Amino acid sequence: MASEAKGSSRRQLLKGIVLGGVAVATTSAIGYTGIKPIDDDAQKSKGSDPTFDGNGIQLPPLTSDPPHREGSVYFRSDLLQMRLDDGTSYYTLQKQQVFSKGGVILAPIPQTIVVWRAQFDCTVTAIKAYQDTGSGSVVTGYNGSTNLLNGNTTISKSATWQDGGSIAEAVVSAGDSIAIAVVSVSGSPNYLVIQIEMTQP
């Protein structure tokens, strides 16, 4: 009886075994219990998943946002956007990372200040400038010693973000030094803000 109880316990234990992270099934015969791996590929071949093939995952294409379901991800084919649902709101997952580097210069005087060492390749899309009071200060941005703008920008109005105009040097490579520059100061500002906007890549 003790031997039979021990054999029964051993068989129960074997039913739950996983070897090296691979699920196993048990087979038995009189006086013998064996183990064989479950064939995952065979299991998968019994059914097909239309969202996955050799090219990867195909998200469901929709032309409107579906009813909320937390954690769902789908593709808005009408907007060419990938969307994430947190159960309450929908968020657009950007194709490109949009970010900016810059700084605030207190009691500004003409100077060039390195604000970032590029950690990856990226593209400059705009330079924005802000002068708290007065107007007429001239600013720009640099990649190393190369002016990012076609021409320095003059701030024409106080307390208003101003676009620096067309970009002359958009390409930034990993390791480049990005700088903001005050070329000249006018209008007695307390501070100037220069912001360089970029995308990755």
pLDDT in tens, the chain (201 residues): 555 555 555 555 444 444 444 444 444 445 444 444 545 554 454 456 666 777 778 888 899 999 999 999 998 999 888 899 999 999 998 878 899 999 999 999 999 999 999 999 999 999 999 999 999 999 999 999 999 999 999 999 999 999 999 999 999 999 999 999 999 999 999 999 999 999 997
- The answer to whether residues 197 and 145 touch, using CB atoms and an 8 Å cutoff, is no
d(CA 63, CA 178): 41
Q: How far apart are CA 153 and CA 182, in angstroms?
A: 10
CA angle, 40 as apex, 38 and 44 as ends, to 5°? 135
Could you give the C-alpha distances from 126 to 43, 53, 65, 166, in angstroms and in order?
53, 40, 32, 8
What kind of architecture, by CATH, is found in domain 97-200? Sandwich (2.60)
pTM for this structure? 0.63
CB neighbour burial string for 75-92, b if at least 16 within 10 angstroms, e if fewer: bbeeeeeebebeeeeeee
In the chain, where the domains are located: 2-40, 51-93, 97-200
